[in-house]
Amino acid sequence: MKRLHFVVLMTVCSVSWAGWERISEAGDSDIATAEAFVFEKYYYDKSTIRKNGAISRMLHLIDYSTYQADNSARWSSAKVLQAFNCKDKTAAIISLDLYEGRMGEGENIYSITRQEREWEWEPIVPRSTDEIRLKIACGRK
Protein backbone atom coordinates (compact mmCIF):
# COMPACT_ATOMS: atom_id res chain seq x y z
CA MET A 1 0.00 0.00 0.00
CA LYS A 2 2.83 2.43 0.82
CA ARG A 3 4.34 1.66 -2.57
CA LEU A 4 1.08 2.64 -4.31
CA HIS A 5 0.95 5.96 -2.41
CA PHE A 6 4.55 6.67 -3.41
CA VAL A 7 3.85 5.96 -7.10
CA VAL A 8 0.73 8.17 -7.07
CA LEU A 9 2.61 10.98 -5.30
CA MET A 10 5.52 10.82 -7.76
CA THR A 11 3.12 10.86 -10.72
CA VAL A 12 1.29 13.93 -9.39
CA CYS A 13 4.56 15.76 -8.69
CA SER A 14 6.08 14.96 -12.08
CA VAL A 15 2.93 16.08 -13.92
CA SER A 16 2.73 19.40 -12.07
CA TRP A 17 6.37 20.20 -12.85
CA ALA A 18 6.42 18.66 -16.32
CA GLY A 19 8.21 20.76 -18.90
CA TRP A 20 10.46 22.64 -16.49
CA GLU A 21 14.17 21.95 -16.99
CA ARG A 22 16.61 23.29 -14.44
CA ILE A 23 19.05 25.93 -15.62
CA SER A 24 21.01 26.75 -12.47
CA GLU A 25 20.93 28.19 -8.97
CA ALA A 26 22.13 31.55 -7.74
CA GLY A 27 25.54 30.87 -6.29
CA ASP A 28 26.52 28.41 -9.04
CA SER A 29 30.00 29.20 -10.31
CA ASP A 30 28.72 30.12 -13.79
CA ILE A 31 26.48 32.93 -12.51
CA ALA A 32 27.59 36.44 -11.56
CA THR A 33 27.81 37.04 -7.81
CA ALA A 34 25.34 39.92 -7.93
CA GLU A 35 22.52 37.40 -8.46
CA ALA A 36 23.47 35.28 -5.43
CA PHE A 37 21.90 37.46 -2.71
CA VAL A 38 18.72 35.36 -2.62
CA PHE A 39 18.85 31.60 -3.06
CA GLU A 40 16.93 30.90 -6.25
CA LYS A 41 16.52 28.03 -8.67
CA TYR A 42 16.04 28.77 -12.35
CA TYR A 43 14.06 26.67 -14.83
CA TYR A 44 12.91 26.98 -18.44
CA ASP A 45 10.30 25.26 -20.58
CA LYS A 46 11.79 24.20 -23.92
CA SER A 47 8.31 23.83 -25.46
CA THR A 48 7.72 27.59 -25.11
CA ILE A 49 10.71 28.69 -27.23
CA ARG A 50 9.50 30.61 -30.29
CA LYS A 51 11.89 32.15 -32.83
CA ASN A 52 11.13 34.85 -35.36
CA GLY A 53 14.24 36.15 -37.09
CA ALA A 54 16.69 37.45 -34.49
CA ILE A 55 14.02 37.49 -31.75
CA SER A 56 13.40 34.45 -29.61
CA ARG A 57 10.86 34.13 -26.77
CA MET A 58 10.98 31.72 -23.86
CA LEU A 59 9.09 31.13 -20.61
CA HIS A 60 11.19 30.63 -17.52
CA LEU A 61 10.50 30.14 -13.84
CA ILE A 62 12.31 31.45 -10.76
CA ASP A 63 11.71 29.40 -7.61
CA TYR A 64 12.75 31.15 -4.37
CA SER A 65 13.79 29.26 -1.24
CA THR A 66 12.17 31.91 0.97
CA TYR A 67 9.18 34.20 0.48
CA GLN A 68 9.84 37.40 -1.43
CA ALA A 69 7.84 40.44 -0.43
CA ASP A 70 7.02 44.03 -1.18
CA ASN A 71 4.58 46.36 0.59
CA SER A 72 1.46 44.44 -0.40
CA ALA A 73 2.35 40.88 -1.40
CA ARG A 74 4.43 37.77 -0.70
CA TRP A 75 5.44 35.28 -3.36
CA SER A 76 7.57 32.13 -3.69
CA SER A 77 7.96 31.85 -7.45
CA ALA A 78 7.69 33.81 -10.67
CA LYS A 79 6.99 32.87 -14.29
CA VAL A 80 8.56 35.23 -16.79
CA LEU A 81 8.00 35.32 -20.53
CA GLN A 82 11.09 36.96 -21.93
CA ALA A 83 12.16 38.07 -25.40
CA PHE A 84 15.78 37.80 -26.48
CA ASN A 85 17.43 39.60 -29.37
CA CYS A 86 19.92 36.91 -30.41
CA LYS A 87 21.88 39.31 -32.63
CA ASP A 88 22.17 42.29 -30.24
CA LYS A 89 22.33 40.17 -27.04
CA THR A 90 19.57 42.08 -25.30
CA ALA A 91 16.47 40.93 -23.40
CA ALA A 92 13.04 42.32 -22.56
CA ILE A 93 10.31 41.09 -20.23
CA ILE A 94 7.03 40.41 -22.02
CA SER A 95 5.04 39.17 -19.03
CA LEU A 96 5.51 38.46 -15.34
CA ASP A 97 3.35 36.37 -13.01
CA LEU A 98 4.06 36.03 -9.29
CA TYR A 99 2.78 32.98 -7.39
CA GLU A 100 2.22 32.38 -3.72
CA GLY A 101 3.44 28.78 -3.98
CA ARG A 102 6.66 27.19 -5.16
CA MET A 103 7.24 26.21 -8.81
CA GLY A 104 4.48 28.49 -10.15
CA GLU A 105 1.79 26.79 -8.07
CA GLY A 106 -0.82 28.33 -5.82
CA GLU A 107 -2.52 31.68 -6.12
CA ASN A 108 -1.35 34.07 -8.84
CA ILE A 109 -0.94 37.25 -6.79
CA TYR A 110 0.38 39.61 -9.50
CA SER A 111 0.37 39.62 -13.29
CA ILE A 112 1.51 42.07 -15.94
CA THR A 113 1.82 41.77 -19.73
CA ARG A 114 3.50 44.35 -21.94
CA GLN A 115 2.70 45.09 -25.55
CA GLU A 116 5.69 44.89 -27.92
CA ARG A 117 5.99 48.69 -28.11
CA GLU A 118 6.39 48.71 -24.28
CA TRP A 119 9.24 46.19 -24.14
CA GLU A 120 12.33 47.60 -22.47
CA TRP A 121 15.39 46.04 -24.10
CA GLU A 122 18.36 45.72 -21.77
CA PRO A 123 21.87 44.40 -22.47
CA ILE A 124 22.63 40.87 -21.28
CA VAL A 125 25.12 40.81 -18.39
CA PRO A 126 27.95 38.31 -19.04
CA ARG A 127 27.92 35.19 -16.80
CA SER A 128 24.34 35.89 -15.67
CA THR A 129 21.25 33.69 -15.81
CA ASP A 130 20.00 35.99 -18.59
CA GLU A 131 23.05 35.00 -20.65
CA ILE A 132 22.33 31.32 -20.03
CA ARG A 133 18.67 31.82 -21.03
CA LEU A 134 19.74 33.78 -24.15
CA LYS A 135 21.95 30.87 -25.23
CA ILE A 136 19.11 28.39 -24.66
CA ALA A 137 16.46 30.52 -26.41
CA CYS A 138 18.74 31.32 -29.33
CA GLY A 139 19.86 27.73 -29.70
CA ARG A 140 23.45 28.10 -28.56
CA LYS A 141 23.53 26.05 -25.36
Positions of the chain with pLDDT lower than 70, given as ranges: 1-18, 24-38, 140-141
Beta carbons of 5 and 98 less than 8 angstroms apart: no
Beta carbons of 93 and 111 less than 8 angstroms apart: no
Full set of structural domains in the chain with CATH: 19-137 (2.40.128.710)
Whether the full predicted model's pTM is greater than 0.75, yes or no, is yes
- Mean pLDDT for all residues in the chain: 82
Which residues lie across from 117 on neighbouring strands?
none
- pLDDT at res. 33: 45
Distance CA 134, CA 91 (A): 8
**Of 75, 91, 106, residue with least CA distance to 136:** 91
